[in-house]
Amino acid sequence: MSLPAQTFPLKGPLLRGSRRPRVALIGQANTGKSSIFRAASSTAVHHERLAGIGPAYEECQVEIGLDQISLVDLPAIDTFHQLQGEVPVVLKYLLWGDRWPAIARHEAHQPEKAFAAPDVLLLVMDATALERDLELALELAQIGRPLVIALNRMDEARDKRLFINVRALSAKLGAPVVPTVAHMGIGLADLFSTVVRAAREARSPQPQPPSPHIAAHLPGIADIVATADVATAFAVPPMLLTMQLAENDDYFFDELRCHFPVQFAALLHARGQASAALPRPLDDEIHADRHHRAALLYEAVTRPGGEFAPPRWQRWADELFLHPRWGMVGSLTIFALVLFFVFEVSAFLDSHTVARLIEWTAPWQPTDLGGVLARAVLDGFIGLAGIVIPYMIPLVLLLVLLEESGIMHRVAFVVDRGFHKLGLHGGVALPFLMGLGCNVPALAATAAVTHGRDRTVAALLITFLPCSARSAILLALGGKYLGGFGVFGLFMLAPIVVSLIGKLLKRRYPETTPGMIQEIPPYAVPTLRALLANTWERSRDIVTVVLPLLVAGSVVLALLSHFGADYWINLTLTPITVWWLGLPVVLGVPILFGVLRKELSLLMVFQALGTQELEGVLDVTQIATFLAFLTFYVPCVSTFAMMVKLLGRREAYFSIVLSVGAALAVALAVRLPLELLL
């Protein structure tokens, strides 16, 4: 029974392409702003300078469900109270983008690249220093754009026993507030969903006026701002321009003096009158008033206490799986668990099921055509059982358990940056782990977590992972004839090859992969129904897709052997086996039959050489070369079947060419140094 299809209601036109909104990340230094950008960023980040000066900003595309945004990480700013250093450039970007108004067109540093003004402002505030950041929030509300606030470092605030009423804070600021722990990825999925909603609704918070004793002295300055010529030339929201002209003597003050001397004289008069009537100069009063209002707001939404603290075990688990320093320990623990299943649990099941089935059917070696065909079909079914029973079922069950419990999402978040080097996202961690057991269910899992270019690259790279069958050959032959150091060296070839092939594939598929938000769901106890349903969903293609091709391949190879094509196969493969690899010519057939199942290559090597002891017929260089080639050449027919299902015939055949080329290159790279040294 197939699972019911899920439907997702659309809340408006998709925000993609020309509709894609730009979101500006804003905040003071050390608030976690850059951590949020790194967690969401794509594999290709664009660096550019604002108007050609100051520190560079970073920009990338991010996918949020079916929508997309352009996320821009701006240089850190503290306040707009004094427009000095990089602050004026950042404010110009927030107000105008690259379309500067009349007052700015005379400046030496003009916009050098096209960048539109942001559609949404994403302010990152430090929950442990909330009062300080609230002043910047009050200033940003005057810009007149949708505002979303990420209340970051909530874990540290909790550890300090500081409770923040997020709902009350959102109501008082007039902007949505989302609690986050950026370095652990907690809350980021909700944050960016809120950003998309804010972009779609396009509602801006109402600027909060200053205290009445200051507001009484601002009408004269507001009248200057409302002058038609001034409003057109500055193109700045009235409240923001009024407060800027009232409180600082920097950018806007100087521009008004240069372009509007009459209004500038009126400004000086209005400021002088206000300063004379107030206890302190007007600019000091405005600054102190903003600080006072932020302090009152802080006191209204915070109080000491430990309300809503998560259970201690959950905090410990998050420290293990999501901490910037310790998170990799948790990921390596999961990696070790998968390897244990591959080399212990799966090996145990294999030895007590499929291995006994092979041993039981071994005496039947028919010589007539009908018997040969029947034996080939039986071998195809045995090959399928060899995938499903020992490797697919236990490994898929384990990884579905980790996924349903929420642990696998945390592993994906931690390894996300590493996969960016391959042009992928951390979501492919699950298929890559499955690939260590068997490439077939790994490819099936790839379809669930990727699409487009990511799916193609991930699928091609998975075929270079040493599955359990390849690992068994490396351990069996390498451990006996090359020693522990030699086996370790051969296994280390895999990450090197995957890294190099990944870089080559980035050139073949150069399109930029949008960033993705790695969701961090709450921990959960998986239900048996969900485990079985998801396991079947990821495994059913094994029967419908792999089995027919596996049986067909077995029949073809059996017919070749039955009609005495061994000699011609060996002769055809001589350029590879003898000239390139330096191996005996009789190893051509074992290499070819490895496309059915890699273990067949090992068995047929012994048959072709006529001995179980290879030391007398192969030297160390030949054994190492053979193992290196066998590890990377042509994925087995089961893997090829899944590649056809997943990517189509063109990319599936490209995977064969890629794997053969890589295997030949790696084998030669192993052979030549060993021949020189030995």
Q: What is the pLDDT of residues 251-274, one digit of tens each?
A: 888 888 888 999 999 989 998 888
| Residue 104 resides in a domain | yes
pLDDT at 220 over 80: yes
- In the block, residue with structure tokens 């004793």: 213
User: String of b and e for 159-182 (b: at least 16 CB within 10 Å)?
Assistant: eeebbbebeebbebbebbbbbbbb
Amino acid letter, residue 444: A
> Residue 7's pLDDT is what?
47
Mean pLDDT of the 285-314 span: 79
Mean pLDDT of the 492-503 span: 86
For 451-587, where are the alpha helices, taking DSSP H only?
Answer: 452-462, 468-473, 479-481, 483-508, 528-541, 547-562, 566-572, 574
> Residue 196's pLDDT is what?
93
What separation in angstroms does the CA of 432 have from each of 323, 371, 419? 22, 40, 11
In this structure, are 547 and 617 located in the same domain?
yes
Of 159, 179, 209, the one marking the end of a domain is 209
Euclidean distance between CA atoms 641 and 649, whole angstroms:
9
What separation in angstroms does the CA of 513 have from each of 41, 68, 74, 105, 458? 10, 12, 21, 36, 12
In this structure, are 205 and 225 located in the same domain?
no
**DSSP category for residue 78:** -
Question: Closest Cα to residue 297, out of 437, 451, 125?
Answer: 125
Question: CB–CB of 175/297 below 8 Å?
Answer: no
> Residue 426's pLDDT is what?
65
In this structure, are 296 and 177 located in the same domain?
no
Q: Return the C-alpha torsion angle 209, 213, 215, 221, nearest 10.
A: -140
Question: CB–CB of 111/176 below 8 Å?
Answer: no
pLDDT digits (tens, 9 = 90+) for 3-45: 344 444 556 678 888 888 999 999 998 898 988 888 887 666 7
| Residue 462 resides in a domain | yes
In this structure, are 352 and 292 located in the same domain?
no
In this structure, are 220 and 202 located in the same domain?
no
| Residue 79 resides in a domain | yes
What's the token pair of residue 30?
């050390």
| Residue 311 resides in a domain | no
> Residue 4's pLDDT is what?
42
Euclidean distance between CA atoms 545 and 642, whole angstroms:
7
pLDDT at 179 over 60: yes
What separation in angstroms does the CA of 428 have from each of 314, 432, 452, 458? 25, 6, 13, 7
In this structure, are 427 and 402 located in the same domain?
yes
In this structure, are 35 and 168 located in the same domain?
yes
Mean pLDDT of the 140-163 span: 89
Euclidean distance between CA atoms 602 and 674, whole angstroms:
22
Mean pLDDT of the 79-94 span: 83
Question: CB–CB of 634/661 below 8 Å?
Answer: no
Cα 355 off chain centre by: 39
In this structure, are 404 and 276 located in the same domain?
no
Question: CB–CB of 242/222 below 8 Å?
Answer: yes
pTM here? 0.71
Q: Return the C-alpha torsion angle 332, 336, 341, 345, nearest 10.
A: -160
Number of domains in the chain: 3
Can you give the residue range of the structural domain that contains 548? 318-677
Mean pLDDT of the 504-524 span: 72
In this structure, are 198 and 127 located in the same domain?
yes
Q: What is the mean pLDDT of the chain?
A: 81
pLDDT at 306 over 70: no
What's the token pair of residue 590?
């074992």
pLDDT at 312 over 80: no
Q: Which residues contact 438 (CB under 8 A, 6 or more apart)?
A: 387, 391, 392, 395, 467, 468, 469
Euclidean distance between CA atoms 638 and 644, whole angstroms:
10
| Residue 12 resides in a domain | no
> Residue 532's pLDDT is what?
83
Question: CB–CB of 520/409 below 8 Å?
Answer: yes
Question: Closest Cα to residue 143, out of 190, 74, 189?
Answer: 74
3-state secondary structure of 437: coil
Mean pLDDT of the 103-120 span: 80
The CATH code of the domain that includes 186 is: 3.40.50.300
Mean pLDDT of the 338-355 span: 74
| Residue 11 resides in a domain | no
- 494 vs 350, more confident: 494
pLDDT digits (tens, 9 = 90+) for 576-615: 888 998 988 888 877 776 676 655 565 566 656 666 577 7
In this structure, are 353 and 289 located in the same domain?
no
Provide the phi-psi class of 664: left if phi over 0, else alpha when psi is between -120 and 50, else beta: alpha
What's the token pair of residue 41?
């960023």
Q: CB burial class (10 A; 0-12, 13-18, 19+) of residue 96? A: middle
The total number of residues written for the chain in this structure: 678
Residue 456 CB neighbours (<10 A): 22
Mean pLDDT of the 211-232 span: 89
Helix pair angle (393-405, 439-449), 10° resolution:
30
> Residue 668's pLDDT is what?
92
Q: What is the DSSP string of 342-372?
A: IIIIHHHHHHHTHHHHHHHHTT----SHHHH
In this structure, are 196 and 223 located in the same domain?
no
Phi, psi for residue 186 in degrees, rounded to 5 = -75, 130
Mean pLDDT of the 209-215 span: 87
Of 304, 331, 349, the one marking the end of a domain is 304
| Residue 2 resides in a domain | no
pLDDT band, very low/low/confident/very high, at 142 (cuts 50, 70, 90)? very high
> Residue 2's pLDDT is what?
39
In this structure, are 149 and 223 located in the same domain?
no
Q: Which residues contact 99 (CB under 8 A, 6 or more apart)?
A: 117
pLDDT digits (tens, 9 = 90+) for 516-538: 666 677 788 888 888 888 777 76
Give percent of the chain above pLDDT 70.
85
pLDDT band, very low/low/confident/very high, at 545 (cuts 50, 70, 90)? low
Euclidean distance between CA atoms 621 and 18, whole angstroms:
58
Of 304, 333, 350, the one marking the end of a domain is 304
Where in 21-176 does DSSP place strands (E)?
22-27, 46-49, 56-64, 67-73, 120-126, 147-152, 162-164
3-state secondary structure of 517: coil
Euclidean distance between CA atoms 134 and 155, whole angstroms:
19
| Residue 525 resides in a domain | yes
The CATH code of the domain that includes 271 is: 1.10.287
